[in-house]
Chains A and B, each alone.
Chain A
Amino acid sequence: MMRIRDIGPAVSFTWDGKRLQGQVGDTLASALLANGQRVVARSFKYHRPRGIFTVGSAEPNALVTIGSGAAQDPNIRATVQEIYPGLEARSQNRWPSLGFDILAINDLASPFLSAGFYYKTFMWPRSFWEKLYEPFIRRAAGIGALSGQHNADHYEKAFAFCDLLVIGSGPAGLAAALEGARAGARVILAEDDARMGGRLICDNALLNDAAAGDWVDAALAELAAAPNVTLMPRTAVTGAYDGGTFGAIERVGLHLPHQPELPRETFWRISARRAILATGAIERPIAFANNDRPGVMMASALRSYLHRYGVAAGQQVVIFTNNDDAYASARDLEGAGVQVTLVDARADAVAPAGFAGRFIAGAQVCDTRGRMGLRAVQLRHGDGRTEWTRADCLGLSGGWNPSLHLACHMNGKPQWDEGLSAFLPVPGMVPGLDYAGAANGQYDTAACLAAGQTRARAALGDLGLSLPAAADLPKTPQAAARPMLPLWQVPGKSRAWLDFQNDVTTKDVALAARENYTSVEHMKRYTTQGMAPDQGKNSNVNALAVLADVTGRSIAQTGITTYRPPFVPVSLAALGAGAQGAGFAPQRFTTSDAASRAMGAPMIEAGLWYRPSYFPQAGETHWRQSCDREVGYVRNAVGIADVSTLGKIDIQGPDAGAFLDFVYTNMFSTLPVGRVRYGLMLREDGHVMDDGTTARLGPDHYLMTTTTAAAAQVMKHLDFVRQAHCAQMQVAFTSVTEEWAQFAIAGPKARGLLQQLTGQALDGADWPFMACGPIALGDVQGRLFRISFSGEMGFELAVPARFGAALFDRLCDMARDLGGGPYGMEALNVLRIEKGFITHAEIHGRVTGFDIGMQGMLSRKKDFIGKAAASRPGLLEDGRELLVGLRATNGSLIAGARLFTQGSDAVRTADQGYITSVAYSPTLDASIGLGFLRNGRARMGEVIRVKDHLRGVDILAEVCNPVFFDPEGGRARD
C-alpha cells in the first residue's frame, strides 16, 4: 500500500494515538491505506482482524471512533470520514490493542458462536440473563461506545422544499439535475459523498474524449450558478416517507476541526414534488474461505483509491471477478505499476486488451492466508488443481446490486432480474419517485446519462413545466460487456463470510435453514445478517442467494428482506436536535418570573409554565416553614400570587350567554353584568372536564377562566362545540390569557391594600363577593374580580401584561407593609385544600359532578354538553367513590395512598378509594387531605385506614367534610 500520486497538501491526524500524515481530500480510509495501516478494526463477534473493504458509504469493516470526551462518536465509517487537521480516530472493539486483542479467543470458539448461539445457550436460569450473560456478551461482542456524558455539540434539523429531488450525483443524477436546472425547476441534488460525480470521479473514464472529471466540473459549475438549484454534498437521503417527504442527513461540521457554533449534522426533511433515484449500485463480494482478511477489498474500490486518492491498495494484487467491470481495476492498477493477477470465474473469459499480467479464466479463489494482513490466496483452477499465489491485496467483484433501498421504504418489493442477477425497482414503489442509471440496473455510462435525462424530463413534464429541447449528452466510449456468471459462494470447509459487519458466514445461513428459519426475514433475525450500521448493503443479496441454494428455491422465490429507513446510520443527536435539556419543550414565563426568581423562589413547572413554589426568607431551612408563613399571610394579613397562567377566554356576541349555557352545566345567560359565577364543564361522556369562574363584562361579553392545565383543552373544546353544535350561534371567542397579567390579592387586608392602590373604597355594597368590573390604576385600565381561591377576602387584579412586572413589584411591597407578602404554589395549594376547593388532582378525568358533590350544578332546565351521559344510573350510585375530606389521626397523609375500611386487609379487593391531595394545614395544625371514598358522603366521622404500599405509610384518618376551614364561607364575604 502506498501513495503513488499526491492529491493535496499534507494533513496531520492521529490513529490510535499515533500521529499520521494524510492529504487534503483524503478520507480516513484512504489516509490509513496510504500509511500502510492494514488492520483497522476487529470484527463484531470473533474479533477477527479486519481491513478497509470498500470506498464509500457501504463499508462494513472499518468502523472507528472519532473524537474523545463527551462528543466521542462511535461506529463512524472510515470510508466516509474526511480527514482534517487534528482529527483523532481510534479503533474499537479491541482490548488491549488493535494488534493484540484478548477476545480474539472468540474466533477459536467459533463452532459454539454460530447463529442462534445466544438463544440456545442462555435460556436458563432466567435471572442470569440480565445480571450476567447480557453484560458479558455486550462487552465481548460489540462495536463502539458512547461516552455516557452529555453532548454539548450543536446539531440541527431543517426543512427543505423542491420540485425535483435528485438522489445521487453520478452520471444519471447529474444529467437529471441539469434537466431540472434548465427547466427552471427548484432542484435539490443530494450526494452522500463529499464530492459530487459518483463513479465518474472514481474511474479513469472518458467523456467527450476528455477526462470525465472535466464534464463533471462543467456540470457542477452550471448547477451551482443556477439560482433554482441547491447542491447538497455530504448529504445522504435516508428515507422515503408519505407525501413526497424524504429524510436526509447532512454532515455539516464532521469533516472540520470543531467549531462550537457550527452544527455537526443537520437532519433534513425534504418535501419533493418528484424525485429521481440515481444512487448507483453497490458491488457485491463473493463468499469463500477466509474472505475477510485485511487486504481483501472490493475490486471497484481498488480503482477508486487509485484514481481519486492516489493510493495503490497493494503491490501484488489478485482480482477475482465474475464480470467485466473488474477488468478496469486490473488494467488501471497495472498501469500504475502494480503487479496484477486477474482471475475470472467464467471459463470462456478472454484477457482484456492491453492487460499484461497473469490472466486465469474459469478459476476461483478458494482460500486466503495472512491473519494480520493478506499474504497469499489459493486458486482452484477449472480442472480442480489448486495453487497458492502471493498477494497483499485481493479485489472481489461478484457483480452489482442496484442501490434501490429508498424505493422500498414504503413497503414496495423489488423484482429479481434473472439476466442481471439483481433485484430491480418496479414503477410506483414510492409515489413520485422514478429511477435512473445503475440504481435501475443500467450500468454503462451512456445508459446512465440517457436515463437521467429522460426520467427527469418525464418528471418535470408531469409537473407541467415547459422543457427546453434536450441538450446533447456527452459522448462515451463504446463498451460491450459480456454477461456475468452468477457466483455467490465458492465451496469450501472453512468459514466464508457473507456479512462482515455481523460476522455471519455461509454456515450460519445454512444452519438457520436447517433449523427451519427458511423465510428470508427469519434467517435475517436468526443470524443477525443485515443488521447494524451497514444494514447488509454488501451482504443482503448474497445471503439470500445462499439461502435460496440451501433451500432449493430460486432467488425470486426466496425474496428479499424489507428495507427500512434509515439508509445510512443517523445519529440520535441529529434526530433530536434542539430537544436536549431545556430545549425539550418551550418555556412559558409570567411577567413576575424575574422578580420571583430574584426573591429566591424555586420554580415548578405547570404545563409549560414556570410558577414560584415558595418565597424563602432568611432563617428558613425547610420549604414547609416558608409555606406555613405564606399561608399565614393570607389567613391573617394579605398575600400576593401571580395567577396569570390560568386560561382566560374572551367570549362575545349576542349568543354568548346561550353558548356558555351549552358548554357549562349551570346557567350563565342569567348572570348579571358585573358579576362572576363558578362554572362546571363536562365532557361529552358526562365526566368533568374543567371548572373555573366566568365573569360577565357586558351584555354580550363574558370572560371565562380555565385551570392552567386545561386552558388549551378547553379552548379546543369550545372551538369544536362552536363549529360542530352551535354553528348557527352568533358568538366569537379568543384566548386572552397572555393579554392580561393577573394577581390574586387575598387576606383580611386585601381590600385595604387595593384601597391604597386604587384610591377607591371597594366596599361590600359596590364590590360584593363575586363582583367584577373595570378599574383604573392611574392611566392603566385594569380589571378587578372579587373572587377567592383561598376562602379569604380575595380579589384578582388584571392589567395589560406590559405592566405586569411593575404591578407585581408594587403589590409585593404594599403587602409587606401590611404584614404580608407574595405566596407561592405550595401555600396556594394548602389554602385551597383547607377550603376543599378542587383542582385537576381531583377532577382528573374519571370523576363526575356527582362524585365531587356538585350534582346540583347540573341544570335540569337546559341542555348542555355531557348532560345525557352524566345521567346514566351507573354514574349516580351511592357506592361510587365520592369526594371527602380526610384528617389524619396519627401521622401524615400522603397523596396516592389507598383507603381501606378500618380492620380490613389492605388488599386490592378491599380497596375503598384513594387520596388525591394532601397538606399540612398550619391553620388547623393537622394533616389534611382530599380523596375519593366509596359512598363517602355517608361515612362522615368514620375512621379509615390509609395505606400506601409503595412508600410504607399505614395510618388512620377520620372522614370529614372536604371544607375544613370556614365551611360557611363568611370570611370571603362582607
Chain B
Amino acid sequence: MTDQAMTLPETSPAAGLLPQSMGRMTLTEWAQMPITWVGLLSTDVAAASADLQAQIGAALPAPGQSLPCTGGHILWAGMGQALVMGTALSSVAGASVVDQSDAWCALRLSGPDAPAIMARLCPLDLGFDQFEEGAVARSLIGHMNGIIWRDGADSLTVMVYRSFAQTLVHELTHAMRAYAARLALA
C-alpha cells in the first residue's frame, strides 16, 4: 500500500543560485549540516555547559563568541541561546534542544573584501581587525535579521532564515558586483 518510491529529494535553501564569484570574492552555500539550537531553560549556565563540554568538547560560548567543538562549532546565538553547527544533539542538561538544520540559509562570503561587502548591508563594524576570528553577531543584513560569524581568516558566514535565501543571495551578489566594479577603478 505504501507508495513505491518513497524517497524525497532534498533541496538546499539557495539551490541553483550559488556559487558565484566576483572580483576577489566568492559566495558559496554551506552544505546542509546539522544545526542544533540549544536554549537554556533558566539562567543556570553551568549544567548545560558541563554537559556540552562532555558531549561535544566545548561549553556555551560567551556572548558574541563561538568555539570549535567536535564535528564543528558552537555559536552564541542570543541571550541563553547557542547554535551547534555540524553536530547533532538529542538533549542537553538544563536546556531545550531543537533541530534547526533546515531553518537556516548559511552562506559563506570568502575573500579579502568580505568586510567591505558586508558594510553595504550590515550596520556593525565587521572589519577583519575588529570582528576577530570566531566572533559572532546577531544583526541586520539589509532588512533581514541574521547571524554573522567570522568563520575563517578571510571569510564571513552569513545566516538568515531559509525563506530569505533568494533575497540574501541577491543582496550579497549585488554588493559584490558593485564592489568589484569599484575595485576595478583603482
Pairwise interchain contact A810-B8, C-beta atoms closer than 8 A? yes
Interface residue A600 (Cβ < 8 Å from any Cβ of B) = no
Flag A241-268 by CB within 8 Å of B: 1 or 0 each: 0000000000010001001011100000
Contact partner, A652, options B96, B100, B104, B177, Cβ 8 Å? B96
- Docked-complex contact B8 and A806, CB < 8 angstroms: yes
**Chain A residues positioned under 8 Å from B125 (CB to CB):** 159, 161, 271
A645 to chain B, nearest CB (A): 8
On whether the beta carbons of A156 and B101 are closer than 8 Å, the reply is: no
List residues of chain A with CB within 8 A of the CB of B95. 732
Within 8 A of B (CB), among A623-654: 650, 652-654
Total interface residues on A, CB under 8 Å, equals 59
* Distance of B53 from chain A, by nearest CB (Å): 19
A733 neighbours in B (Cβ, 8 Å): 39, 96
Q: Which of B3, B174, B177 has the most CB of A within 10 A?
A: B3
B-contact bits for A167-178, CB 8 A (1 contact / 0 none): 000000000000
List residues of chain B with CB within 8 A of the CB of A801: 13, 102-103, 162
Chain B nearest Cβ from A269, distance in angstroms: 7
- A residues in contact with B127, CB < 8 Å: 161
Interface residue A461 (Cβ < 8 Å from any Cβ of B): no
Contact of B41 among A154, A157, A732, A806 (CB under 8 A): A732
Note all chain A residues with C-beta closer than 8 A to B89.
Answer: none
CB distance from A580 to the nearest CB of B (A): 12
For window 392-430 of A, CB contacts with B under 8 Å fall at none
Interface check B112, CB cutoff 8 A: no
Cβ–Cβ contact A738 & B143, under 8 A: no
- Bound-state CA distance A269–B123 (Å) is 9
**Contact mask for chain A residues 708-748; partner B; CB cutoff 8 A; 1 contact, 0 none:** 00000000000000000000001111111111100000000
Q: In the complex, what residues of A have CB within 8 A of residue B185's CB?
A: 256, 262
Q: Which of A156, A586, A587, A779 contacts B120 (CB 8 A)?
A: A156
B181 adjacent to A778 (CB under 8 Å)? no
CA distance A737 to B164 in the complex (A): 12
**Which residues of A307-357 are within 8 A (CB) of B?**
none
- Residue from the list B9, B32, B161, B182 in contact with A252, Cβ < 8 A: B182
Q: Report chain B residues within 8 Å CB of A591.
A: 11
Choose one: B1, B10, B80, B102; the contact of A756 (CB below 8 Å).
Answer: B1
Q: Give Cα A779 to B5, complex, Å.
A: 11
**A740 in contact with B102 (CB, 8 Å):** yes
> B40 within 8 Å of A by Cβ?
yes
Cβ contacts under 8 Å, B26 to chain A = none
Beta-carbon contact of A757 and B143 below 8 Å:
no
Residues in A whose Cβ lies below 8 Å from that of B111 = none
Query: Which of the residues A159, A586, A652, A804 comes within 8 Å of B144, measured between beta carbons?
Result: A586
User: Is A304 among interface residues, defined by CB-CB distance under 8 A?
Assistant: no
Q: Are A263 and B182 in contact (CB under 8 A)?
A: yes
Q: Does B167 contact A (CB under 8 A)?
A: yes
Known contacts A586-B142, A738-B163: A779-B99 contact under CB 8 Å: no
As a 0/1 sequence over residues 67 to 82 of chain B, the CB contacts with chain A under 8 angstroms (1 = contact) are: 0000000000000110
- Give chain B nearest CB distance to A577 CB in angstroms: 9
Q: Which residues of B contact A5 (CB under 8 A)?
A: none
- Collect the chain A residues with CB atoms within 8 Å of residue B90's CB: none
CB distance from A589 to the nearest CB of B (A): 6
Q: Is B62 an interface residue (CB 8 A)?
A: no
Question: Which of chain A's residues have a CB closer than 8 A to the CB of B182?
Answer: 252, 262-263
CA distance A640 to B81 in the complex (A): 36
The CA of A730 and the CA of B7, in the complex, are separated in Å by 39
Q: How far is the CB of A196 from chain B (nearest CB, A)?
A: 16
Considering the complex, give the chain A residue whose CB is closest to the CB of B122: A159
B40, A806: Cβ atoms closer than 8 Å = no
For B2, what are the chain A residues with a Cβ–Cβ distance below 8 Å? Answer: 756-759
A778 in complex: contacting residue of B6, B143, B161, CB < 8 Å = B6
Indicate if the CB atoms of A739 and B103 lie closer than 8 Å: yes
Q: Interface readout for B9-32 with A: 1 if CB under 8 Å, 0 if not?
A: 111110000000000000000001
Other-chain contact of B103, A262, A652, A738 (Cβ < 8 Å): A738
- Does B149 make an interface contact (CB < 8 A)? no
B11 near A804: Cβ-Cβ < 8 Å: yes
Contact of B181 among A261, A589, A654 (CB under 8 A): A261
In angstroms, Cα B1 to Cα A814, docked, is: 13
| B98 near A650: Cβ-Cβ < 8 Å | yes
A588, A652, A779, A803 — which one has the most chain B CB atoms within 10 A of its CB?
A588
Q: Which residues from A are CB-within-8-Å of B99?
A: 739, 800
A590, closest chain B residue (CB): B163
Residue A802 lies at the interface, judged by CB distance under 8 Å to chain B: yes
Contact of A739 with B101 at beta-carbon distance under 8 Å, contacts A159-B123, A161-B127, A652-B96 already known: yes
Let me know if B41 and A803 touch, CB within 8 A.
no
Q: A262-B181, A591-B11, A609-B163 are in contact. Are A736 and B1 (CB under 8 A)?
A: no
Q: How far is the CA of A793 from the CA of B185 in the complex (A)?
A: 64
Which one of B10, B123, B124, B165 lies within 8 Å of A803 (CB-CB)?
A: B10
CB distance from A228 to the nearest CB of B (A): 9
Q: Which of A160, A731, A778 contacts B8 (CB 8 A)?
A: A778
Q: State the CA gap A777–B40 with chains docked (Å).
A: 32
A757 and B103 contacting across the interface, CB-CB below 8 Å: no
Question: Can you identify 5 A-B contacts, CB atoms within 8 angstroms?
Answer: A261-B178, A262-B182, A586-B142, A739-B99, A806-B10
A binding-site residues for B, Cβ under 8 Å: 154, 156-161, 252, 256, 259, 261-263, 269, 271, 578, 585-591, 609, 650, 652-654, 730-740, 755-759, 777-780, 799-807, 810, 814
**Beyond A730-B42, A780-B8, 5 additional pairs, beta carbon < 8 A:** A154-B178, A732-B95, A737-B103, A738-B103, A779-B7
